[in-house]
């Protein structure tokens, strides 16, 4: 198997305001995870459990306090298009058209127009935005903005796609559409995806493995293997195993830390 991401004994501490100087809060601690190629990993956990802090470290936005964090054998120190992020808020560059948003990265890295042009057209088609390439972000709906973000990440051919509650702000119907879109994008590109959410159903529908995080300490409470075949359809939500897994995870998330072991 191909290991894409390795996290060993990972820890992240923050200085804590209002406490004694030098005393620090452990946001993430003893975090051990290996993500294999082409896997979709969903992390669920209560808010403040450190799941976003973990994603920030993988993205290279913040450095770990200690422990090992490697992408394909290389230690992570700074952001890179190798680890493209789809943010929760629709973070597009509002002064650029959809197409220019997608190609800004490759263009700035010195990729030839003959190379990034066709690639941009391909990813825009994959996310269903080929007719909106010349639109500006303010002209797009929330769902379309998230599609544009996905296209911007895909165009770099990333080793790992990081998604930070990307569909959290969308309405239920749009969210289902985006799940189906993500599944079809995965079928086409077979990317490795680390997906953060607080929506258990979303995690079960998308993931090969669901990581449940605990709060205080911010670490992995349990890992569930999700057995459903790909390509998946919404039919699986009616499967009894789906309901059973959901009930179990919801129960685990509700449990008090001391009752968990």
In terms of CB distance, is 92 or 245 closer to other proteins? 92
Write down the least CB distance from residue 76 to other proteins, Å: 13
Measured from the Cβ of residue 169, the count of other Cβ atoms closer than 10 Å reads: 15
Write down the least CB distance from residue 138 to other proteins, Å: 3
Measured from the Cβ of residue 116, the count of other Cβ atoms closer than 10 Å reads: 19
Binding site for other proteins (CB under 8 A): 59-61, 78-81, 83-85, 87, 89, 91-96, 104-105, 108-109, 136-139, 152, 156
In terms of CB distance, is 56 or 208 closer to other proteins? 56
Write down the least CB distance from residue 81 to other proteins, Å: 4
Report yes or no: 183 and 231 within 8 Å, Cβ to Cβ: yes
Whole-number Å distance between alpha carbons of 82 and 63: 17
Write down the least CB distance from residue 146 to other proteins, Å: 13
Q: How far is CA 62 from the centre of its chain?
A: 16
Token duo for residue 6: 């390795």
In terms of CB distance, is 134 or 239 closer to other proteins? 134
In terms of CB distance, is 144 or 252 closer to other proteins? 144
In terms of CB distance, is 83 or 133 closer to other proteins? 83
Write down the least CB distance from residue 79 to other proteins, Å: 4
Write down the least CB distance from residue 42 to other proteins, Å: 20
What single string gives the DSSP state of each residue in the chain? --EEEEEEEEEEEEE-TTS-TT-EEEEEEEEEEEEETT-EEEEE--TTSSHHHHHHHHHTSS--SEEEEEETTEE--S--TTEEEE-SS----TTS-HHHHHHHHHHHTT--HHHHHHHHHHHHHHTT-GGGTT--GGGS-HHHHHHHHHHHHHTT--SEEEEESTTTTS-HHHHHHHHHHHHHHHHHH---EEEEES-HHHHHHH-SEEEEEETTTTEEEEEEE----SS--GGGGGSHHHHHHHHHHHHHHHS-HHHH-
Residue 13 forms beta bridges with which residues? 26
In terms of CB distance, is 104 or 176 closer to other proteins? 104
In terms of CB distance, is 29 or 97 closer to other proteins? 97
Write down the least CB distance from residue 77 to other proteins, Å: 12
In terms of CB distance, is 95 or 256 closer to other proteins? 95
Write down the least CB distance from residue 172 to other proteins, Å: 25
């Amino acid at each position: 198997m191909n290991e894409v991401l390795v996290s060993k004994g990972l820890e992240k501490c923050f200085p804590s305001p209002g406490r004694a100087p030098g005393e620090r809060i452990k946001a993430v601690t003893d975090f051990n995870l290996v993500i294999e190629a082409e896997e979709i990993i969903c992390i669920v956990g209560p808010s403040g459990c450190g799941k976003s802090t973990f994603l920030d470290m993988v993205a290279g936005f913040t450095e770990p306090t200690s422990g090992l964090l490697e992408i394909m054998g290389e230690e992570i120190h700074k952001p890179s298009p190798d680890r493209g992020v789809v943010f929760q808020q629709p973070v597009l560059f509002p002064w650029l058209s959809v197409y220019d948003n997608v190609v800004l990265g490759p263009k700035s890295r010195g990729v030839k127009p003959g190379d990034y042009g066709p690639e941009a057209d391909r990813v825009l088609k994959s996310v269903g935005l080929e007719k909106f390439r010349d639109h500006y972000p303010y002209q797009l709906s929330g769902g379309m903005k998230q599609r544009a973000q996905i296209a911007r990440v895909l165009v770099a051919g990333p080793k790992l796609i990081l998604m930070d509650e990307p569909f959290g702000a969308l309405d239920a119907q749009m969210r289902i559409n985006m799940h189906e879109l993500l599944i079809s994008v995965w079928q086409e590109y077979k990317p490795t995806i680390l997906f953060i959410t607080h929506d258990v159903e979303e995690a079960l529908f998308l993931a090969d493995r669901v990581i449940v995080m605990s709060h205080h300490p911010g670490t992995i409470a349990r890992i569930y293997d999700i057995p459903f075949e790909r390509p998946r359809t919404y039919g699986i939500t009616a499967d009894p195993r789906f309901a059973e897994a959901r009930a179990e995870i919801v129960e685990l998330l509700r449990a008090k830390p001391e009752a968990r072991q």
